[in-house]
Amino acid sequence: MYTRNPIAVQHGIKKYTTENYYWGVLPRETMCTLNELIKQKGFASALKNFDLKGMRFDYAESYDRSDFIPFLPIANEATVLDLGSGYGNITIPLAKKFKKVIAIDASFELLEFLSLRASDEGISNIEYVNIAPLEHCDLPFRLKSFDAIILNGVLEWVGSGKTEKDPSVYQKELLSTLAGLLKDDGVLYIAIENRLFPGWLRRDPHSKLKWTSILPRPIANWYAYRHGFKNGYRTYIYSQWGYRKLLKNAGFTNLKFYYPYTSYRAPDFIYGDDKPVKRMLFRGKYIKKIFTRRWSIFLFLLRSVGLEDAFLSSFMIMARKGDGSFIPNFILNKNFSNKEQLSLMKVIDKKTKERTILVFKDDSSEPIHQEFLEITMKVS
């Protein structure tokens, strides 16, 4: 699987870089202190008693981001690459479902945290790899090594660390590299914000500036410079049409979009771009129950001109290099007829956190099947 040996192996983490990069919701020193405390007292006890001094850490504890996993069209025997694995919010649920997971991150301290977290849960099928930031495209793997590659909240940051080229160039280079690492029938999963979401006019999700996501790139760059960003505006996100173009140029010709509400970070609701789901959704049974009143009215208006998906906050995208189905494995294992015509919707109960997948036939606006899905939600 690997094209070369690591520079070093430290705490079970294979190091392929000498760069001392760090990104995290906690400062590096605090992260190191927490890791040492976990080694001494155990994972749950350390997190429960660690003094965060007012800093939020619930983002790192929650597994909400992994709600897309049942939609992956790969078998349980798959080998999965999780790029930008961070605190393990997705890596650990992946490892509970699939045979092998490679967790990659440019921050060594986060990989150490993840390895301690996985060890606490008795998980042993994860390999940990420390690399340079993804702009370098220095991924030490042989071609066609992976059944699935995960880019959850990562692609937008590609281009923020190196400034020699336009961020879109770095993003395309990375996606082209990933196309080579995927098996012929492999799938790329991307979760990322939508450039056209009206909420970003007030506050860009990454630069935190007004307007920058929607402005033409040169103007956004100038605007960011004026507000103290020495490298300008570098965290590029796109519209649905922009993602289609970017992925096509990188070699991904077969795409399927899913739409989370309110965000891929912690979705209460996920639906696909399938007609049965939309037919059911906009007949009112679910849209009024799941969306806020303001959003449901807004979506009804957009529906009248065929743009109901264009202005949501984010996308969940499945991409293949060629022909191939996006039918999830759990559907393939059931005795449904015409599986290609089935469509899915996932609902998460806000109070109980119970996850249910509803299955629809092409000629039905009512589900023909529903399935409860277990997922670990929060560190106790």
Q: How far is CA 70 from CA 75, 253, 257, 328, in A?
A: 11, 22, 15, 7
| 34 contacts 50 by C-beta, under 8 angstroms | yes
Residue 53: per-residue pLDDT: 81
Question: Which residues are CB-contacts of 54 (< 8 A; sequence separation ≥ 6)?
Answer: none
Phi, psi of 316 (to 5 degrees): -115, 115
Q: What is the pLDDT of residues 255-305, one digit of tens each?
A: 999 999 889 998 888 998 887 787 777 775 677 777 777 778 888 888 888
Element (H, E) at 355: strand 355-360
Please check the confidence at residue 349 and state whether its pLDDT lies above 70.
yes
The predicted model gives 15-43 an average pLDDT of: 94
Residue 187: per-residue pLDDT: 98
The CA R_g of the chain, rounded to the nearest whole Å, is 21
Contacts 24+ apart (CB under 8 A), 364-369: 364/276, 365/276, 365/279, 365/280, 365/283, 365/285, 366/280, 368/336, 369/334, 369/336
Please check the confidence at residue 247 and state whether its pLDDT lies above 60.
yes
Question: Which residues are CB-contacts of 361 (< 8 A; sequence separation ≥ 6)?
Answer: 276, 338, 341, 342, 368
How far apart are the C-alpha atoms of 91 and 80, rounded to whole Å? 9
Joined together, the tokens standing for residue 191 give 């979760």
Q: What is the pLDDT of residues 201-213, one digit of tens each?
A: 999 999 999 999 9
Query: CA 339 from chain center: how many Å?
Result: 26
The predicted model gives 89-116 an average pLDDT of: 96
Q: Residue 376: which pLDDT band, with cuts at 50, 70 and 90? A: very low
Residue 117: per-residue pLDDT: 94
Residue 371: per-residue pLDDT: 80
Question: Which residues are CB-contacts of 343 (< 8 A; sequence separation ≥ 6)?
Answer: 272, 274, 275, 276, 277, 359, 360, 362
Tell me how many degrees the CA angle 324-326-330 measures, rounded to the nearest 5.
125
How far apart are the C-alpha atoms of 233 and 201, rounded to whole Å? 15
Q: Residue 97: which pLDDT band, with cuts at 50, 70 and 90? A: very high
The predicted model gives 18-27 an average pLDDT of: 92
In 10 A of CB 55, how many CB atoms?
Answer: 10
Q: Residue 380: which pLDDT band, with cuts at 50, 70 and 90? A: very low
Residue 366: per-residue pLDDT: 77
Helix (H, G, I), strand (E, B) or coil at 148: strand
Count CA within 13 A, CB hemisphere, residue 61.
11
Q: What is the pLDDT of residues 121-167, one digit of tens each?
A: 999 999 999 999 999 999 999 999 999 999 999 999 999 988 999 99
Domains, the chain, in order of start with CATH, read: 8-195+237-266+292-323 (3.40.50.150)
| 380 contacts 356 by C-beta, under 8 angstroms | no
What per-residue string of b and e applies to 9-30 under the rule 16 or more CB within 10 Å gives b? eeeebbbbbebeeebbbbeeeb
Joined together, the tokens standing for residue 45 give 């006890």
Please check the confidence at residue 379 and state whether its pLDDT lies above 60.
no
Q: Residue 377: which pLDDT band, with cuts at 50, 70 and 90? A: very low
Please check the confidence at residue 308 and state whether its pLDDT lies above 90.
no
State the average pLDDT for the chain.
90
Q: pTM of the entire structure?
A: 0.94
Joined together, the tokens standing for residue 80 give 């999965």
Helix (H, G, I), strand (E, B) or coil at 372: strand
Using alpha carbons, select from 30, 24, 33 the residue that is nearest to residue 53. Answer: 30
Using alpha carbons, select from 270, 10, 314, 324 the residue that is nearest to residue 151. Answer: 314
Joined together, the tokens standing for residue 126 give 């994860």
